[in-house]
Structure 1
C-alpha cells in the first residue's frame, strides 16, 4: 500500500478549511491578511515574533510536499510550527521566510493497516489525551501543557506525570512520515519505522528525541508501545481509571536554609531509593514546585494511579516524608481522587498566568544525576528567597524521572538522558515587553551562578547531565554565557550527537531544514 495515502480510522477531527482558490488550494496568510498578526508569534513565548512572507497551512502530506517543493525552487527559508509552544526563536525569527503551520493537520486515530495509533503533528496534547482515552482507553506519557503540539513535543522526547511508569513519550514512537529534501533538491516522502531491518530505521531513531525541524517535515507519527500486540486498546499504555491528585504547600517564611538543604538531600536519597522498577512508587509522578518567595510557596505536587495496591497510603507516606524532611507542617495539604482525564485536564489548564497566550517567558533546564552539591543548594535558596524577583511567576521545578525511562539504554533512541535522577526546569513568566530585560537577566544570573564551576552550564559529568531539547535555550549557543567548550547540541544530545549528524547528512544533506539550534551537518 502507499502509506502516504493510508486512511486511518480517526476520532472526530477539526474541519478542513481551504481558501477560495479551490478545494485543493493551500490556505496562505500574507502580511495584508487580518490573520497575520496572530500567526507570527507562538503560544509559549511572545518575546519572539517573525515577519515571514507567508504562512502556509497544509492539511495533507501532499500539501506539505507542494510547499517544500516551492520553497526549494524559490530558495526560501522555511520554519515549522505545530502548536507554537516553542520557548525560543527556533520558529519565529528574522530568517523565517515561509512558516509552515501544521495546525490543520490534527488527526488522532487508529491506523488498522499499520496496527498503530496515528497522530498528526498539529494535534495538541489535550486533544490527543482526550481522543485516545475516550476512543480506546489508552494514553501517552507526555507533557502537561494543553496547547503543546505533537510535532515538536513528540520529536523532542516528551516527559510527563506518567513517565516513571511508561517512559518518555517518544519511546512509544513506532513509525514516522517525513517530507525530506535530497542533495539534488528533490522532495520525497519517507516512512521510517523503529524496525531494525527497516533501511530508514535511523530516521525513526533520530526523530524519537532528536528535536523538531532537523531532518524534514514530520507529517504523521504512528504510536505503539514496544513489544505491544493485540487489539488497539493493548497497544499503548492503559489510562488509569482514577488517580489521587496531591498538593501540599509550605510558606517560605517557615523554611530555613538549613531545613531546605536537609530536604534537598533527603529528597535525593528518596529519589534514588525509589527510582527502580521494583519501587512501590513507580506509579507516583511528582514535582517539587519552588516558586519565588516574594509571592510564592514551596509546593509538592503528585499524582498516582488509585488502583495501585495501597495507593492512598503510599501518597500519604510520601507527603509525610516531605513534612519530616522540612521539619514543618504545610499550610495546605490535600489528596483527592479524580477520574484520570478530569485530573489531566485540570492540571493542563490550571492557572491563567502560566497558560495565557499573551505570555513572555524565559526557560532553562538541567538534568541532574546526583543531588545538588552544598554550594548549589545555597545558590538556589538565595535566588528563591533573598534576591529581588522581577515577578511572582518565577519557578524552579524538579521533575521526577527514572523508572521506565531508565529501562532503555542511552542510545535506544535519540532521547539520551536515561539515568538522570531529576529533570529540572527554571522558568519565568510575565506579560509586558518593558519587563523583558530584568526577567531574563534574573534567570540568567541564577543559572550562571548555579553552574559557575562548569562554564555556566550543566555539562555532562557525575553530577549534571546536560539539557532538555524541548526547553531550548539560546544562551547555550552563546559563548558569553556558555564557556564550557561544549556546544548546545552536545548538551542536548551528548554521545548521540554524532549519529544524529549522520542522519542529518543522509536525509537533509543540503541543510535545508534548520533553525538557530538545529543539528549541524558533520564536517
Structure 2
C-alpha cells in the first residue's frame, strides 16, 4: 500500500486543496499535489518523496488551520494524514491517531474505556493539529489541558535528507517531547499518533444550559453592559481558586449587535462527575441574571450551530436541588454531541487572547464600541463575535480531576497557567469581496481592546515590553499572522513568539532547529519565523 497522489488534473483536487477556512488557498498559492496517506508507512513514504524532490511539505489532519499555513503551498505538497485513525488501549497506554476528529475520538474512546479526553468541542477538528497546539475544551477546567495527559508521540522527523520514525517521550527525547506538548503543529515533523496516560472517567451526568440576553437592553445602556461583563469576569476570576467550580465551563458569546442576542452556553458537572452539588451553576446564573434579562432560546447563536434542544420551561430538580430554568440534564456523551459544532465552511478571520484579570474599563469601552457602535445596522456582521471561554481550574492548579500533573512545574510548551478567561475573536462571511471589510474591522477592534494595557496592540505577556501584564498572550491553536508585527511593525522589544510561548520561546526555537536542522518544516508562524 502506498499514498495516493492527487494532482491538479484530478477531479478531487479542487475540493481537497481547501480546508475549513474558505479563504485559503489564495489564488496562485495552491499546492502542487495532495498526498493522501492511509498508514504511517504511507506518511513516511510521502514525506520522503517530498524531501527527496525538494518540495515543501505541509501537514493536514482535520483541515482547521485558521490561517493558510497548510493550503497556501505553491512550492510543495500537502500531506494528508486524515486516514490515520487508530484508536486503541493497551495496558496503560491510550493511543489516538492524528487523523481522528474530535467527535470520533470521543465516541470510540468512551466505548472502549468510559473515558472523556479533555479536548475541544468542535466535532471535525483533527487530533493532529488540536493536540499539538495544547488542546482544551469543556472539561479542561476539571481535568486540565489535553497535553497534560500526554505520555508519548509517534513522530516522523527529517535529518540529513532521510525520514526517521520514532517514539518520543520524556524519558528518551525530553526536549522534543516538550515541543510536541503545545508547541503547535508542523514545527519539527509529522505526529502520526498520540499516546496518553489513562484518561479521566467521563462524567455520569452533565447539566447543559443555553441562554440568550437581548442586545436591546444594552444598546443604549453602556453601564449595564459593563456591569454584565464584570459579573461574568469577576465570577471566573474567583472560580479559578474554588475547586468546587472546576466542572463548570462556559462559552460567553459577545456577538455583534446585529445578531440580536448575546449568548451564554454552560456545561456543568460537579467534582464527582454528578449533579449532587449544583451551587456553582446556580451562582453563575444568579450573577448574570441579576444584571440582565434573558429570553428563551429561539434563534441562531453564532458559533453554536442550530438551536440544540427544546428548553425546559420550569425548574428541573436533581440531587443537588432545583436547576436554573432552561437547564437540560444529559449523559455526558450526548451533551458533547449537542454542543459539538464547527460551524459552516465559510471565510473567516480569528484572533485570541488570554486574560488573568476581570475586564478593565478600557477593554469594555472597546468591546462596546466595536460590537454596538461600529456597523450597528449591518447584518454582514451577524456572525461576528468575541467568545469568552472560562479558563483556569485544573489548567492552573493541582486538582483531583487531573492525573497528578503540576501546572507550576509544567513540562509542556503551554506557558499560560494563570489565566481565567480565553477570548476568541471571530468574524465570518461568504463573499470574498468582503474580505478587507471584515479583516480590518476585527484588526482595529482587537488592537483597540489591548491599546491601554497591552503592547503594540496585542495582549503581550509579562516581558521587557510589558512588565506586570494582565495578559498571557495568544493561543497557537488560533494562529493570526497579524501578530507577527502587531499594530506597528518594528516596534521596540516586540517579539511575536513571546505572545504564543512566553519565556519558553527561545528554548522552543532551539529545539525546533535541533530536530529540523534542514528547515524542512516551515510556514509563516513556525518557531523562529521572522516577519
Fold shared, TM-score > 0.5 on shorter chain: yes
Tell me how far apart the structure 2 counterparts of residues 240 and 369 of structure 1 sit (CA, whole Å): 28
Taking structure 1 as reference, are residues 421 and 394 closer, same or farther at Cα in structure 2, changes over 3 Å only?
same
- Could you report, residue by residue, the CA deviation over 1:471-496 in whole angstroms, capped at 9, with x for unpaired residues? 00011113555646423222100111
- Count of residues paired in the alignment: 476
2:41 to 57, 62, 66: 62
Structure 1 residues 28 and 279, CA gap change in structure 2 (3 angstroms): same
Q: 61, 66, 71: which is aligned to 1:87?
A: 66
Conservation of the 8 A alpha-carbon contact between 2:3 and 2:43: no
- Residue range with higher mean Cα deviation, 52-61 or 148-157: 52-61
Q: 1:391 offset after TM fit, Å?
A: 2.1
Task: Return the TM-score normalized by structure 1.
Answer: 0.87
- Partners of 2:22 and 2:450 lie apart in 1 by 25
TM-aligned CA distance change 1:104 to 1:440, over 3 Å: same
| Structure 1 portions without partners, runs of 5+ | 1-23, 225-234
Task: Determine whether 1:400 maps to 2:390.
Answer: yes
Tell me what 1:109 maps to.
Answer: 88
Within 5 Å, which residues of 2 pair with 1:428-467?
428-453=427-452, 454-461=455-462, 462-467=469-474
Mapped contact 1:47–1:433 kept (Cα < 8 A):
no
2:205 equivalent in structure 1: 242
Name the SS for the 2:266 alignment partner.
Answer: strand
Is structure 2 residue 243 aligned with structure 1 residue 279?
Answer: yes
Contact 1:79 1:96 in 2 (8 A): no
Q: Counterpart in 2 of 1:364?
A: 351
Q: Which residue of 2 aligns with 1:6?
A: none
Counterpart CA distance in 2 for 1:521 and 1:364 is 19
Q: In terms of mean alpha carbon deviation, does 31-40 or 339-348 score higher?
A: 339-348
Task: Choose the corresponding residue for 1:220, options 189, 193, 209.
Answer: 193
Runs of 4 or more off by more than 6 Å in structure 1? none
Aligned partners of 2:60, 2:81: CA distance in 1, in Å? 6
Tell me how far apart the structure 2 counterparts of residues 479 and 427 of structure 1 sit (CA, whole Å).
18
Q: Does the 8 Å CA contact 1:110/1:116 hold for their aligned counterparts?
A: yes
- Give the direction of change, closer, same or farther, for the CA distance of 1:447–1:474 in structure 2 (3 Å limit): same
Alignment of 1:23-42 (within 5 A): 24-42=1-19
Aligned equivalent of 1:185: 161
Tell me whether 1:204 sits opposite 2:212 in the alignment: no
Over residues 186-210 of structure 1, what are the superposed CA-to-partner deviations in whole Å (9 max), with x where a residue is unaligned? 221121113xxx2312111110100
Correspondence 1:501 to 2:505: no
Q: Please give the residue correspondences for 1:56-455 in structure 2 after superposition, counting only pairs within 5 Å.
A: 56-112=35-91, 115-182=92-159, 184-194=160-170, 198-224=171-197, 235-255=198-218, 256-276=221-241, 278-305=242-269, 307-308=273-274, 310-324=276-290, 326-332=291-297, 334-349=326-341, 355-357=343-345, 359-388=346-375, 389=378, 390-407=380-397, 408-409=407-408, 411-453=410-452, 454-455=455-456
Contact kept? 1:179, 1:188, Cα under 8 Å: yes
Offset of residue 329 of structure 1: 4.7
3-state SS of paired residue (1:171): helix
- Aligned CA-pair RMSD: 1.9
The Cα shift of 1:412 comes to: 2.1
**Could you say what secondary structure the match of 2:153 adopts?**
strand
Q: Is the 8 A contact 2:207 2:329 kept in 1?
A: yes
Maintained 8 Å contact 1:45/1:87: no
Verify: 1:491 aligned to 2:499, yes or no: yes
Separation in 1 of the partners of 2:247 and 2:93?
25
Check the 8 A contact 2:249/2:266 in 1, yes or no. yes
Distance 1:153 1:484 in 2: 33
- TM-score (norm: length of structure 2): 0.86
Asked whether the equivalents of residues 119 and 138 of structure 2 are also in contact (C-alpha less than 8 Å), the reply is yes
Question: 1:421, CA displacement in angstroms?
Answer: 1.7
